[in-house]
Amino acid sequence: MQNPLYPIFLKVHTLDLLIVGAGQVGHEKLSFILKSSPDANITMVAPWVSDEVKNLLIDNPGNKVKIVNREFEAEDVAGKDMVIAATDISELNRRVHKISKAFGVLVNVADTPALCDFYLGSIVTRGNLKVAISTNGQSPTFAKRFRQVLEEILPENTDGLLSNLKVLRDRLKGNFTYKVQKLNELTSSLVEKNEVESVERA
């Protein structure tokens, strides 16, 4: 079956995110988001906060993470754009899911694909280039390993290439179809180079 998910890239600094839980699972979700979007607006609600979460916040000065040190309440979901249920208590996670749906808010329940409106896929970042990987919740381990492969083969200096392509695009005259055609011609050598390298490695 083909993966039916539609990938989007969110400007999370313009959204309000809620993470319920600040233990091991909460730390995993928080670190994943901050690694990709260090300026994300996040509220974490939990009766206790793990040392891992505290250290993560110390290591990311200037973050926009607010800690609410108490049990989760239904009103915490009000006004939020997305919710992540990240506790190790199944009943609580399901309650967070139910309340989030009642508020009409997108929700992700850790380790429960059936209760997720979205997944936090593996991400590779090289300057302005960002690649997201999803296995439709089937194997996060594979997504992680594939991310590592991409991190090894993608060069660090992609920003120069992207900037030059933007300048070329801005200078091109003509309609959308013409611009796409010219940019395809200009970038075709990138694919050809990779194909040659693949044959040489085989």
Return the CATH fold of 121-156.
Double Stranded RNA Binding Domain (3.30.160)
**Other Cβ atoms closer than 10 A to 25:** 20
What pLDDT score was predicted for residue 34? 96
Contact at 8 Å (CB) between 127 and 159? yes
- Prediction pTM value: 0.79
Nearby residues of 154 by Cβ (< 8 Å), 6 or more positions away? 124, 126, 129, 131
pLDDT number for residue 195: 46
Q: Which amino acid is at 77?
A: V
Please report the pLDDT score of residue 200 as a whole number.
47
Q: Which two tokens stand for residue 13?
A: 């600094």
Strands 122-126 and 129-133 come out as antiparallel
Predicted local distance difference test score (pLDDT) of residue 63? 95
Every domain of the chain and the residues it spans: 12-120, 121-156, 159-201
Task: Tell me which amino acid residue 193 is.
Answer: K
Task: Supply the pLDDT for residue 12.
Answer: 94
Q: Does domain 12-120 have CATH number 3.30.360.10?
A: no
Enumerate long-range contacts of 51-57, CB under 8 Å, 24 or more apart. Answer: 52/24, 52/27, 53/22, 53/23, 53/26, 53/27, 56/27, 56/30, 56/31
- What pLDDT, on a 0 to 100 scale, did the predictor assign at position 167? 65
Binned average pLDDT, 10 residues per bin, the chain of 202 residues: 89 97 97 94 98 97 97 98 97 98 97 92 87 85 90 80 67 73 70 49 46
H or E stretch covering 97: helix 90-102
